[in-house]
């Protein structure tokens, strides 16, 4: 007899050995997926999720490990935005590297947001004044200071229809591009806003466009999950994306580009970059910009960008040293270059400002954040995980 793919509520609760209320709590936490029956009056529960939860709970080390349900691998939320599988990245079923070959970030945003009309068709919003704020403030800090002011000035942000929210997302993206580039908002394509401000011309323009596309989303990473949590409370997109930027800045997320930028120039300028890398690893120092748990065979985004960079600069000594470092990292440490390494290498080759790697990451990721915001808003579910208490008992 074949194993059923779904279980009734009573069957699922019985397999888990819990009450129906606890089963429903597991569903609300995203640990078990459910689906409505044809009539819509009852729900069925994924048998594979139930049995996976039982297996984790019954592991000998489950209690000691705290059954880390929100750590890598356990189901958290259902999403149709992005899929990472087989070493490839897909945006709503479209290969991200295929899109990087020619699509703009605006086009990819429309795909991720699942809208039919162009949300970027409206005129760009004005840039709020930031009186008293130092012009030397980091662009991401300026962005965090500006977004609440922009939200207060945006009367159209009350439109909570999918189309209205998408237009709000487009206005936010244009503001973000302007602040990160240090210019006034415009109707130019987002990649061109950055390129004009940074003096990028020729083939570099296409690399900037492609980089934004490849940065657009990466499933439920820390910043996307943060955006979804804020969205689930009913907060507006400005608040949710501000929270996403805050999460992105951490050195274990988008802020990793700064760690790469602190190490890469020294390695490239060393008399023997590979020997310098070997010495770094021998000291037990971290190697930022290499390795990604979702890509055991190498980050497809980095590989795509570095191949295109090689077409432009493959004969230049400094780029060849960078590629030698990437190969040595695989040989010595078994870790391939990640997107962070590719972003910093691109900034090095195009002589971009120091904040460019994280600026590219942030602007590109704004499309994915808004996609997760829209998906969460459609679900009307408050994200509220429960804690496994490990402290003193009364």
Q: Give all strands of the β-sheet with 6-7 in edge-to-edge order.
A: 6-7, 43-46, 34-36
At residue 33, does pLDDT exceed 70? Answer: yes
pLDDT in tens, 43-83: 888 888 888 888 776 665 544 444 455 565 555 678 999 99
Choosing from 65, 94, 110, the residue where a domain stops is 65
DSSP state letter for 156: G
Which structural domain, as residue segments, surrounds residue 325? Answer: 257-350
For 44, list phi and psi in degrees, rounded to 5: -115, 155
Exactly one of 292, 299, 355, 372 is catalytic; name it. Answer: 292
Residue 278 lies in a domain: yes
Greatest CA separation for the chain: 72
Q: What is the pLDDT of residues 372-390, one digit of tens each?
A: 999 999 988 898 887 778 8
Give domain status of residue 159, yes or no: no
| Range of lowest pLDDT (15-29, 219-233, 340-354) | 15-29
Q: Is 67 a catalytic residue?
A: no
Extract the runs of DSSP E, i.e. beta strands, from the chain. 6-7, 34-36, 43-46, 82-85, 88-91, 94-95
Contact 373, 162 (CB under 8 A): no
Distance of CA 35 to the CA centre of its chain: 27
Q: For residues 206 and 201, what is the distance between their CA atoms, to the nearest angstrom?
A: 9
3-state secondary structure of 290: strand
Residue 292 annotated in active site: yes
For residue 247 the two structure tokens come to 């999460």
Q: Residue 168 is encoded by which pair of tokens?
A: 């709000």
Question: Average per-residue pLDDT in the chain?
Answer: 90
Other Cβ atoms closer than 10 A to 133: 12
pLDDT at 63: 45
Catalytic residue among 340, 348, 355, 372: 340
Sign, Cα dihedral of 221, 224, 230, 232? negative
Task: Measure the CA–CA gap between 230 and 235, rounded to whole angstroms.
Answer: 6
17 three-state secondary structure? coil
Q: Looking at the predicted structure, is the pLDDT value of residue 353 above 90?
A: yes
Is residue 274 in a domain?
yes
**Is 24 inside a domain boundary?**
yes
- For residue 360, is it within any domain? no
Residue that finishes a domain, picked among 24, 43, 65: 65
Here the CATH number for the domain that contains residue 44 is 1.10.1660.10
Would residue 192 count as lying in a domain?
Answer: no
Q: Can you tell me whether residue 337 is helix, strand or coil?
A: strand
**CATH number of the structural domain spanning residue 267:** 1.10.230.10
Question: Is 362 part of a structural domain of the chain?
Answer: no
The last residue of one of the domains, among 48, 65, 82, is 65
Domain count, the chain: 2
Range 12-22 burial, b when 16+ CB lie within 10 A, else e: bbebbebeeee
Q: Beta strands 34-36 and 43-46: pairing type?
A: antiparallel
Write out the DSSP string of 28-66. HTTSS-EEE-TTSSSEEEEHHHHHHHHHHHHSTTHHHHT
pLDDT digits (tens, 9 = 90+) for 301-326: 999 999 999 999 999 999 999 999 99
CA-CA distance, 107 to 167, in Å (whole number)? 13
Residue 316 lies in a domain: yes
């Amino acid at each position: 007899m074949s194993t059923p793919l779904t279980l009734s509520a009573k069957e699922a609760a019985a397999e888990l050995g819990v009450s129906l209320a606890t089963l429903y709590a597991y569903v609300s936490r995203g640990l078990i997926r459910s689906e409505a029956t044809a009539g819509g009056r009852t729900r069925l529960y994924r048998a594979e999720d139930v049995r996976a939860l039982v297996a984790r709970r019954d592991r000998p080390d489950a209690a000691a490990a705290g059954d880390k349900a929100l750590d890598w691998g356990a189901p958290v939320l259902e999403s149709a935005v992005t899929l990472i599988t087989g070493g490839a990245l897909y945006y709503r079923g479209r290969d991200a590297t295929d899109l990087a070959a020619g699509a703009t970030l605006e086009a990819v945003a429309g795909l991720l947001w699942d809208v039919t009309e162009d949300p970027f068709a409206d005129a760009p919003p004005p840039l709020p004044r930031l009186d008293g704020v130092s012009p030397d403030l980091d662009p991401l800090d300026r962005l965090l200071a500006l977004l609440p002011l922009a939200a207060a000035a945006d009367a159209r942000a009350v439109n909570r229809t999918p189309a209205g929210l998408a237009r709000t997302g487009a206005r936010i993206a244009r503001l973000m591009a302007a602040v990160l580039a240090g210019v006034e908002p415009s109707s130019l394509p987002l990649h061109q806003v950055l390129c004009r401000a940074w003096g990028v011309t020729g083939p570099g323009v296409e690399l900037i466009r492609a980089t934004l596309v490849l940065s657009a989303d990466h499933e439920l990473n820390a910043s996307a999950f943060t955006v979804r949590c804020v969205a689930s409370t009913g907060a507006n997109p400005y608040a949710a994306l501000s929270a996403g930027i805050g999460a992105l800045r951490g050195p274990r997320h988008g802020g990793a580009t700064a760690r790469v930028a602190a190490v890469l120039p020294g390695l490239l300028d060393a008399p023997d970059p590979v020997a310098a890398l070997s010495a770094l690893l021998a000291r037990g120092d971290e190697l930022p910009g290499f390795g990604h748990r979702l890509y055991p065979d190498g980050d497809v985004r980095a590989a795509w960008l570095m191949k295109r960079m090689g077409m432009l600069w493959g004969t230049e000594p400094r780029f060849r040293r960078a590629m030698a470092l990437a190969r040595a990292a695989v040989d010595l440490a078994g870790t391939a270059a990640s997107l962070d390494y590719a972003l910093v290498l691109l900034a090095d080759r195009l002589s971009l400002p120091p904040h460019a790697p994280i600026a590219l990451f942030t602007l590109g990721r704004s499309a994915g954040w808004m996609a997760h915001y829209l998906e969460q808003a459609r679900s009307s579910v408050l994200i509220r995980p429960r804690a496994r208490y490990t402290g003193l008992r009364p």
